[in-house]
Amino acid sequence: MASEGILLGMGNPLLDISAIVDPEFLKKYSLTLNNAILAHDKHKPIYEELVEKYDVEYIAGGSTQNSIKVAQWMLQVPGATSFMGGIGKDKFGEEMKKSTKLAGVKAHYHEDESSPTGTCAVCIIGGERSLVANLAAANCYKSGHLKKPENWALVEKAKYIYIAGFFLTVSPDSILLVAEHAAANNKIFSMNLSAPFICEIFRERLEKALPYTDFVFGNETEAKIFSKIQGWETENVEEIALKISQWPKASGTHKRITVITQGADPVCVAEDGKVKKFPVELLPKEKLVDTNGAGDAFVGGFLSQLVQEKPIEECVRAGCYAANVIIQRSGCTYPEKPNFH
């Protein structure tokens, strides 16, 4: 059984504004499928246009928060998970608090007076998604909030900590504080490559955090970009997973395990100088609703077993199960109870 507060996540809580769009819409905003970007000035009108033009759904999201909610759902132990990040003092912020509470996650949000709650445009074509995040209040998170005794208590309580790479754009000092605590206290610290732009534009911040990681997650696109930026001159996902697992470590307590998903292709797990591949249960195309949150769900499922000290095979199986459930629904949502045995 997972104990209370065993898993902590920190990241950018965002409200997903999700809709099925047409190719012209993607073209207009220079977007590509299966990518995630931060909104620039030219993307600012996208949120209103989505709402005006299409039939939108509002879903509480944000990469790390999705993973934590899925882990909580898989565990079915009230309060097993907790989360920190920044929201606005507004209607969307209230929705976010309600949604997280309903999910059974203990959330300690920093509530910003001057910025609205962050949003993410989820543009879907043929089940594939393109994400445009306007961080807003999520971007205002500071380590001062983390250091408050009632919030640091969540860090103290957790034995496993997960942070998506997206949070590197907001509060790298918060990440390092938590990473150093994990290394000093024999805890498991995990991160995600999250998106090509994290590997490229935020390379330095990512490289500072990597030595502390015990688990690194990512997908094949991110892995290939990471390899390119490092000058490794390989697009072989197994090789890249191995190289990431062999990246120098800040503490020798745990080995590093790299887990790379490849959509419908097998999951690559690199540890101890070897790579194992785990096949994914294929879903008939007609059952696919959208891939938004699939990677987040995989991590959530994986962590739900990891915190129970289950073998890696079980962690991967749970990750694949969770991802399979989520892609048959809109956004990162799930039925009331998991059916994972």
Which residues are marked as active site? 296
Report the amino acid identity of residue 259. V
Helix (H) or strand (E) holding 85: strand 81-88
Q: Residue 31's closest CA among 118, 117, 122?
A: 122
- DSSP alpha helix (H) spans, the chain: 23-28, 46-53, 63-75, 91-103, 143-147, 149-157, 172-184, 196-201, 203-209, 220-230, 237-245, 294-306, 312-326
What value does the CA radius of gyration of the chain take, rounded to a whole number of Å?
18
Sheet bearing 35-38, strands edge to edge: 35-38, 128-134, 119-125, 14-20, 57-61
User: Taking phi first (over 0 means left), then psi (-120 to 50 degrees means alpha), and beta for anything else, what does residue 211 get?
Assistant: alpha
**Backbone conformation region of residue 62, classed left if phi is above 0, alpha if psi is from -120 to 50, else beta:** left
Residue count (the chain): 341
| Lookup result for tokens 């809709």 | 19
8 A C-beta contact, residue 87 and residue 57: no
Angle at 132 between CA 130 and CA 138, to 5 degrees: 140
Tokens in use for 120?
């993410």
DSSP string for residues in 256-301: -EEEEEETTEEEEEEETTEEEEE------GGG----TTHHHHHHHH
| Angle at the Cα of 168 from the Cα atoms of 294 and 64, rounded to 5 degrees | 30
Q: What 8-state DSSP symbol labels residue 145?
A: H
SS3 state of residue 109: strand
